[in-house]
Structure 1
Amino acid sequence: MSPGHAAVIRADLAPGSYALVTWLRDYRTGRMHADQGTYELITVE
């Protein structure tokens, strides 16, 4: 997704803790974005 844009995703998840992770690679370094801290921990209530 281009900078400055957003997307809304709806997912029916059971209550609990989840990690939102990207498995894409950084095109400059070849390292996975998740290895570089691109993730978010969420709690669904």
Structure 2
Amino acid sequence: MKKKSITRVTLEKAKNIEYLTDWERIEKISDEEIEQNAWSDPDK
């Protein structure tokens, strides 16, 4: 099991962190693809 770490940042720094979610890509995925990906996930 990997050790998880916590990174603390100030509010100002957090506001400047680039958002990492690709919402455009997510909006293009069909419900069927989402379900298929969920069922094929080995960590489910």
Greater fraction of residues in helix = 2
Relative to the length of structure 1, the TM-score reads 0.25
Higher share in strand:
1
Tell me which of the two structures has the higher relative contact order, counting C-alpha pairs closer than 8 angstroms and 6 or more residues apart: 1
> Highest Rg: 1 or 2?
2
